[in-house]
Structure 1
Amino acid sequence: IAYTEAFQVTKNRLYKKVVEETFDYVKRELTSPEGAFYCGEDADSEGEEGKFYLWREDEIRELIGGDADLFIKVFNVERDGNFLDEATHKRRGTNILYMRKTLSELSNELNMDEAKLQRYIEKCREKLFKYRDKRIKPSKDDKVLTDWNGLMIASLAIAGRVFNEEKYSKDAKRAADFIIEHMRDKDGRLLHRYRDGEAKIKANIDDYAFFVWGLIEIYESTFELKYLRYAIDINNALIKHFWDDKSGGFYFTPDDGEELIVRKKEVYDGAIPSGNSVAMLNLLRLSKMTNNIKLEEMALSIGRAFSGVVKKTPSAFSQLMIAVDFSIGPSYEVVVVGEPDKMDTLEMIKNLRDVFIPNKVVLFRPIDSKDITEIAPFTKYQHSIDGKATAYVCRNYTCKEPTTDVTVMLKLLQH
């Protein structure tokens, strides 16, 4: 998500490439046949750390051939190896392929056309990839966890709309559909883990919060209402079984879960954000989308519940700070009314997605459908102007004059 948003801000294609290659790896190595995402891959293979991904210089020369010197220079390959053994800290003659410089910097240094250099690298990588694919692969942790899948779903859905790549949105939907179909109990509540055809263990706050996040992102990327409905329903289950009516905030475990001496609450945002931090932003966004003020009040009470500890080290609560920033504002409700497949509608939505304006929610109302008004009643008064794609930019449901002009729409979002 960070690289996707960095691209959105800077338009630096390097950030986009990082995202694309990361998704390629996940799709290839960590995706189940049904479309859900596995936990991870071991670092070891054949009892040796990193063996699957390491290269000797002579291997590279043999595979690439006479022009291997350029590849060796680009990827900092050393005869004695650049990889240090974890135990001995000595070189073992193997290398991790990495680039110290950008493609642009290398092309200038080598006095070589950048596009030509890119083609050369891709050709060499393809040769190495085919050879590596014959090696014994690391073992996989093939559990499917609802919380980790929720994060991956959110990442894919955001990339789908920012890059205008439908394949990412489809992958997000496929994983979400798997969880909805296979990782809920008879009452529709989420389960935490799936493996070998069996889903079990009652879900915790991270499962609920992260999956709701993913569902919201799918809706904003596809405008398929069923995902917004699922987000609302699953969020309601989270509130019913995890909310602390006395002090605010969500417990980590449900009210009918394993009996514990103390039901703890988590808010620290480390490598993985906390359920409370993600849930706070979910509540704010769903409140804006549905005009449910109660959800906003609950979100603000999360901020108050943890304010004491957050004040001491705000940097340890980065995801919570994103939610706080959304609550302080300005934040916007944007409703686009138009024909779903008409060029002016697609152009308006694309322009809206091209710019980094995180503190907003976006709803779409097709001209010939009123379904969205059941979820977002305030949209019933928003109509198309002369059959054209029309944007309503609102703050706290007070809307500026509707416009069919994309430039005007974007200006309204900058004030």
Structure 2
Amino acid sequence: MPTFAVRMAVTATALALIVASTHDAGAQKKYDAGATDTEIKVGNIMPYSGPASAWSIVGKIEEAYFKKINAAGGINGRKIVFISYDDAYSPPKTVEQTRKLVESDEVLLVFNPLGTAPNTAIQKYLNSKKVPQLFVASGATKWADPKNFPWTMGWTPNFQSEGRSYAKYILAERPNAKIGVLYQNDDYGKDYLKGLKDGLGEKSASMIVAEESYETSEPTVDTHIVKIKAAGADVFFDMASPKFAAQAIKKAAEIDWKPLHLLPNPSSSVGGTLKPAGFDNAQGIVSAAFLKDATDPQWKDDAGMKQFLDFMTNDYPQGDKLDGQAIAGYGVAQTLVQVLKQCGDNLTRENVMNQAANLKNFRTEVLLPGITINTSAIDYAPISQFQLMRFKGERWEPFGEIISAEVGG
């Protein structure tokens, strides 16, 4: 073969190999709506207004954290485009905003939408569209049902198991208790109530002397607190969201009612609930935690807490470092970043869920020691452990052992 022909053949072969390798490299990248070579669109729903607006700091923290990630180069070279809408904690509004995120904004996933009732309103829609409803900001048990809702996953320990842990504590500490219950009249409150009753077992009927439910549209829960005290309750299970929990704490002090006061984790924020209620009024309240508390001096030299406090100082200086919801937003945002990193260049909605269901002993360093995040195709409950704590002075003091929060455990 003439030299020229040989050169042409070699050149052609080289070009073919380059084209093939380029094609193979391109083929390795898989995208659904909301993902490209340069960005990942993440949707979010948050109550920036309305009765649950005390929780809105979660969305603001997440936005600030993603900006920090983007400034450092993003995830595998892609920037997070965080689109967060206000639903005022109104389920019809949640549906409207979710449709906008999916059908107009075309996000890859809906991340950490907040509230039990709002998420219930969109669960079937997102699953029918095969859009991840990922790391729901609610502890309802329904978010861990991969068989029926494979596109929905929670993040926090579930409400029913937390309720059962309080029941166990009551039976040990106050076996003759007269329990008064305040609960939000939706799945959030009803899940806690079921957990409490399940934990009390056959003693439930005799020990619970008052059950008062409230609507989030009510301006105050003061009349409910008066009724519960009048029923003779000496243990108060306060299953209210932050605004109403703070009202309950203040009203109990105002009428000189001093029961053993149990408060659920979502309302245990020092800055968001207890400070507005008055620290003097909150002494001795018992709650449960799975995250470190910025007010606890035992974490002053902790590397994870230092990272969080540095983030608050540099990236969200207007935020309240004492607000427990701030550290929750930080931790769940870190978890999403881990999932997206694991996705690599396969940014399909299916792979997002596959990777979310493949977290093995992952730790965001704001989790309490001994608590890790684990998921699988049949386990959609990322965090299933927590610890009881008691409020003293201006901070929470953990006590007892790490408790498993698995349903049926």
Q: Please, what TM-score do these two structures have when normalized by structure 1?
A: 0.20
Structure number with greater CO (CA < 8 Å, separation at least 6) is 2
The structure with more helix, counted as a fraction of residues: 1
- By percentage of residues, which structure has more strand? 2
